[in-house]
Structure 1
Amino acid sequence: MSQNILLLGASVFFYAWADWRFLALLVVSTLLNFFLGLKIHESEEDRKRSVFLYLGLIFNVGLLLYFKYFNFFYEGFFELLSAFGNTSEYSALRILLPLGISFFTFQTLGYLIDVFNEEIEPSKNLLDFSIFVTFFPKILSGPIERAAAFIPQLQEKRSFSYPVFVDGLRQILWGLFAKIVIAENCATVANLIYNNYENEPGSALILGTFFYAIQLYADFSGYSNMAIGVSKLFGIQLMRNFSTPFFSTNISDFWRKWHISLTTWMMDYVFTPLSFTWRRWQKRGLILSIITTFVLVGFWHGANWTFVVYGFLHGIYFIPLVYSGKMNTSEIVAIGKWLPSIKELLKMLSLFVLIMLTDVFFRASNVGTAFEYLKKIFSKSLFDFPTSLLNGTVLFTTLLIALYVCIEWINREKKHDFEISKYNIYIRWFSYIFIFILILFFGRSAETFIYFQF
């Protein structure tokens, strides 16, 4: 119990340190969802169980709608009125976004639904449930944990394990390298291009999309690795959130390996009910379920039409897989081999380019800017030489990316991207020192992570 009290104290302190203004909201959310879970389980009548579930859904979804999406719908309403001649003036409300709200509300939503469906029993220990909601490594940017996997770990005494502790440190080191060396160096180049895209040729813009795609992946997977690594130091295993997604050969495989905790949550609680409801429409119903799910995946990221378009496009990319019957195929590329086949390589590259171009919507401030950016990429200037990018920073960042990709390729069959425990001690220590030197000399300061805004 003392271990759990320490974890809860550390988690509350961490969240208060990050933003104390919403600590009361986190406490209220934790208490309400805890008691609703008990009420759903204790109620014998289906009607009462449904009432308590709907109260939880209204509360949790209501938090998201108010804090994250109110201004989006508010502004949209007045824009719609203006289209019909209403010229009333309005101004957006200044609503602060609580840190981690998208993550902890999804966790509690999933918890209540699982209790309602009798897939798990509710936690009867407020201390355990509070840690499930507030556990500091994951509360700001995930992974989005399931109660069935997380809470049982709190109910057992956790003993020190040297291999697990070292593996946690290893993941922290790799996550730190991904964030401040790869992501931040890529950001330097990508920001320069995106902020001045009107004056750059298409060849520079395509490079900007490349560096941003790598930045986005390194930033978020870096955080996930650090969160998982820190959690291991406390004897708690979080779910893997990224599994070398850029080595995927189709879009379905990509989403099984990218932001895994969000994808599986959406598949279980959105896609599965929708596909069951629309099953009479066969493949058309399946496609509609997929597109709806991914529109919500996109919208989950933020109150902007760019994210809606981002999710919609990813849903559209599934259509060929649905009609070819290959939607459920997933495999590790070139298992047991050093190099992929030409066919595998072409599939990986073509998928990466597709995702890279779609990320323009993720990065752009609005849909119009995204289309302007893409339009310029596919202009004649795509074949111009990007002289503005011919400098040491860009070339060296490219070399760092190559190293990053090579290490991830070598470890693509392992439990995480820097799982080198099977190598001899000299290789391991050389790897640690080498990565540490790169962090020390080539790391850039970073104020925050991209996914903190979600």
Structure 2
Amino acid sequence: MLLTSFVFYGWADWRFLALLILSILINYFLGKSIAIGKTEKVQKGYLYLGVCFNLGLLLYFKYFNFFYEGFFELISAFGFDGGHTTLKILVPLGISFFTFQTLGYLIDVYNEEIEPSQNLLSFSVFVSFFPKILSGPIERAADLLPQISKRQEFSYAQITDGLRQILWGLFTKVVVAENCASLVNPIFDNYESNPGSVLFLGAVFYAIQLYADFSGYSNMAIGVGKLFGIQLTRNFQTPFFSTNISDFWRKWHMSLTNWMMDYVFTPLSFIWRGYHKLGLVLAIITTFVLVGLWHGANWTFIVYGLLHGIYFIPLVYAGNINKSAIVAKGRLIPSVGETFKMVLLFILITLTAVFFRADTVVLGFKYLMEIFNLSVLELPNYFFNSNSLLVVFLVVLFLTIEWLNREKKHDFEIANLKGYQRWTSYILIFILLLLFGKSSETFIYFQF
């Protein structure tokens, strides 16, 4: 497993493999050092060393260019432009994912929530396990390490369920996400020549593309993990069927959300508890600004995170931040109130996703301003063609299946169906893959 993971990761660039191995070794020995430290001061010193190392990797490889360019832009604004050379630092694949995983491991060891790993081989697989190394999920040591260490036994039910999840993830990515991209890219690239109605629908299909792209990868990764007897963390739980922003983030990129809640939000809310609801708001906004920054070194991601943090304010002051439930639980059709809340939240999420797609904050605001004018009432003629109607059909099919499985363990859990029903589903999806699947060089979240 370790050799497979190293070959898989090193295939992109062997230099990144050396960095991954260095990270594994340092975090392994730091974890053991924290546990055997004789005083709290010594333990805390090792923890701070680990925090500095892991965040240092992120800051250098992922954010150094951002701050470097920002510094020279700032001093040039005051007339001190001394000239500088643009740096080209390659970002190692998956660095945001495996550094957060190892950082969480060190914090959990320090807080005595887990025992440090005594097996370098198991720890190495924990960090580098190939299905999740590139784009998560971000795993907790308490969940994954015991699974790696125990004897693996063949489970027919688990393997067939994993294959279903791989099939669904593949369909979600190469059929739904890639066909949405064929509509979205021309719209965003030529937004100034399209009416507001087309731009709005372009934003809608981009939000679906983003979700299908990342959830498709996550389902494939989790499915492959099941083939080896490993249960990875669920990363998405039909987030578009949420009725408030808090519920959305409980279902969107769940491994990152949970990590941020445990290691950023909770400590900040404790520090600022004396400010009551204002302190809670500040902790939430700070957390989501960091969530945005985690995605990349660009002001667009900071604005994206800031807006999502601001959306929590009404919930905090209404006392509804922890209230959430499965929409239409036990029912096929949602109520009018649930439908209204879902649609309103989806529009809000869609408009905010424009900043996720835009190259700069200015372009993001320009795109939104083009939506909010009278042209938004025009007929979106751009979508009146066979290709667009096909994409609409695929998206409706995708969301319908997700709706029917919203209360289950994953989006394509159909083990309870009769044999002919299951095989009809498999064949239908396979035919759609053959007819409408599009090749793609990468996943959106590989850049993060």
**TM bucket normalised to smaller:** over 0.9
Which secondary structure does the structure 2 equivalent of 1:137 belong to?
Answer: helix
Superposed, 1:234-245 pairs within 5 Å as: 234-245=228-239
- Name which of 121, 133, 145 aligns with 2:115: 121
Matched, 1:432 2:426: yes
Matched, 1:76 2:80: no
- Name which of 365, 368, 374 aligns with 1:374: 368
Superposed, 1:235-384 pairs within 5 Å as: 235-384=229-378
Matched, 1:188 2:186: no
The residue that corresponds to 2:160 in the other structure is 166
State the Cα distance separating 1:389 from its structure 2 match.
Answer: 2.6
State the Cα distance separating 1:21 from its structure 2 match.
Answer: 2.1
| TM-score, normalisation: structure 2 | 0.99
Which secondary structure does the structure 2 equivalent of 1:177 belong to?
Answer: helix
Task: Spell out, residue by residue over 1:196-251, the C-alpha distance to the aligned partner (whole angstroms, 9 max, x if none).
Answer: 10111111100100110000000000000000000000000001000000000000
The residue that corresponds to 1:132 in the other structure is 126
Which secondary structure does the structure 2 equivalent of 1:41 belong to?
Answer: helix
Which secondary structure does the structure 1 equivalent of 2:409 belong to?
Answer: coil
The residue that corresponds to 2:436 in the other structure is 442
Matched, 1:404 2:386: no
State the Cα distance separating 1:18 from its structure 2 match.
Answer: 2.6
The residue that corresponds to 1:198 in the other structure is 192
Matched, 1:30 2:1: no
The residue that corresponds to 1:385 in the other structure is 379
Greater shift after overlay, 264-273 or 11-20?
11-20
Residue 340 of structure 2 aligns with an amino acid whose one-letter code is: L
State the Cα distance separating 1:31 from its structure 2 match.
Answer: 0.2
Cα contact 1:193–1:200 (8 A) shared by 2: yes
Matched, 1:106 2:106: no
State the Cα distance separating 1:175 from its structure 2 match.
Answer: 0.1
State the Cα distance separating 1:20 from its structure 2 match.
Answer: 1.6
Residue 115 of structure 1 aligns with an amino acid whose one-letter code is: V
The residue that corresponds to 2:144 in the other structure is 150
State the Cα distance separating 1:117 from its structure 2 match.
Answer: 0.6
Cα contact 1:310–1:361 (8 A) shared by 2: yes
State the Cα distance separating 1:387 from its structure 2 match.
Answer: 1.8
State the Cα distance separating 1:277 from its structure 2 match.
Answer: 0.1
Q: Following the alignment from structure 1 to structure 2, what is the Cα–Cα distance between the partners of residues 156 and 80?
A: 54
Identity of aligned residues (%): 67
Task: Spell out, residue by residue over 1:89-131, the C-alpha distance to the aligned partner (whole angstroms, 9 max, x if none).
Answer: 2232010000000000000000000001111110000000000
Cα contact 1:411–1:417 (8 A) shared by 2: yes
Cα contact 1:278–1:286 (8 A) shared by 2: yes
Q: Following the alignment from structure 1 to structure 2, what is the Cα–Cα distance between the partners of residues 22 and 443?
A: 31
Size of the aligned set, in residue pairs, is: 448
The residue that corresponds to 1:3 in the other structure is none
Q: Following the alignment from structure 1 to structure 2, what is the Cα–Cα distance between the partners of residues 362 and 127?
A: 38
Q: Following the alignment from structure 1 to structure 2, what is the Cα–Cα distance between the partners of residues 88 and 415?
A: 57
Which secondary structure does the structure 1 equivalent of 2:12 belong to?
Answer: helix
State the Cα distance separating 1:411 from its structure 2 match.
Answer: 0.3
State the Cα distance separating 1:388 from its structure 2 match.
Answer: 2.6
Cα contact 1:19–1:99 (8 A) shared by 2: no
Residue 332 of structure 1 aligns with an amino acid whose one-letter code is: I
| TM-score, normalisation: structure 1 | 0.98
Cα contact 1:241–1:258 (8 A) shared by 2: yes
Residue 265 of structure 1 aligns with an amino acid whose one-letter code is: W
Residue 293 of structure 2 aligns with an amino acid whose one-letter code is: F
Matched, 1:227 2:228: no
Q: Following the alignment from structure 2 to structure 1, what is the Cα–Cα distance between the partners of residues 443 and 412?
A: 21
The residue that corresponds to 2:56 in the other structure is 62
Q: Following the alignment from structure 2 to structure 1, what is the Cα–Cα distance between the partners of residues 86 and 317?
A: 44
Residue 212 of structure 2 aligns with an amino acid whose one-letter code is: A
The residue that corresponds to 1:413 in the other structure is 407
Residue 335 of structure 2 aligns with an amino acid whose one-letter code is: S
Which secondary structure does the structure 2 equivalent of 1:18 belong to?
Answer: coil
Residue 164 of structure 2 aligns with an amino acid whose one-letter code is: R
